[in-house]
Structure 1
Amino acid sequence: MSNSTDIDALIELMAKLPGLGPRSARRAVLHLIRKRALLLTPLADTLAIVAETARECLNCGNIGTTDICDICRSEKRANGELCVVEDVADLWAMERSGVFKGRYHVLGGTLSALDSIGPDELRIPRLVNRVATEAVSEVILALNATVDGQTTAHYIADQLAGRVRLTSLAQGVPIGGELDYLDDGTISAALNARRDV
């Protein structure tokens, strides 16, 4: 164990990050210290900048450094498609794929009666307003295939019924997936969403 309270504090903070436990945090901190000039100093500088400048987009809820994110400002993205996701990590995953060329709406979670999360705790009223005021022709519900995700999708579908075309992501067997390793729900969704060959 280190003998510096500052280093111990850094290890404790790193251990709070997703995917890092105390042992992984110690290894990461030790690596950062050993590569101080190459990694630690630039990381500290960048963390300070991001802590000062990061903010949620006032329009969609994405994280960026301006009040309106680059995606919402881009006229090329104004194609009438609005993809609804649970959180920013889902938006970033969609962007990594490079397939979707429209705009997004981040809900900030899902409806959950157990956690007392209703529509007003999420950005659902803002979504309904965007559909009414922007030139939205299709809302794509890209929510997780969980009970709360599906409940949220049904609620949004009810709120937007008759106003706009509503679609959802296909669900089923992933590329490279083997049937023997899939759960019953995934196999059922894949069978129900089958298509002609």
Structure 2
Amino acid sequence: MPEEARTGSGEQAKQYALERLRRAILQGDMAPAQRLVENELAEQYDVTRASIRAALLDLASEGLVERIRNRGSRVRVVTVEEAVEITECRMALEGLCAVKAAEAATDAQLDELADLGRALSKAVADGDPLSYSELNHDLHARIRDISGQHTAVGLLERLNAQLVRHRFQLALRRGRPQQSLSEHLAMIEAIRARDPQAAEEAVRAHLSSVIDALRAD
């Protein structure tokens, strides 16, 4: 870690703490409802308490942390109801990205999507739900990137950050990867066919299935 971050409050120290905390939450190293004690985190990351407090405020604005009056901060718990609402928002935005991707993708990008489809199929065949979950994330991210719809991408990154734990839970549910595989392959096929309407419909069908799975918890 740079000396400036270790010794100071400054923007660099805050950014360092922010990145470390965000990664810990997204990777599941910090559990939902876990208390985030500023003094402990400052010591752990070797920055000032002011840097931790500023980082926690940023994470609260991202929806990853909640500030509780007179009790400090904790990792925000995203309820099933909230996860459904977030997924409904994703449906509109990711549908738009799929349309744009079908219209704009290069041949090389279409080949990348085909490779991801094969990797997803292999993960299901190998019974590897964690790899499948990561590839699932990679596929959605790649479609967003290909779309070039920067406003939608920015919104989706914030929404998806709140769904990490639900995504892993769904990936580990018996039979879920097998079910969603066909949905993902349909998305890939429609984009590779350069069919915007079919691409949007495939994304919406997939995320409708995700909502049904969330509600089945």
TM-score (norm 1): 0.30
Q: Structure 1 or 2: larger helix share?
A: 2
TM-score (norm 2): 0.28
Higher relative contact order (CA 8 A, sep 6+): 2
- Larger Rg over CA atoms: 1
Q: Structure 1 or 2: larger strand share?
A: 1
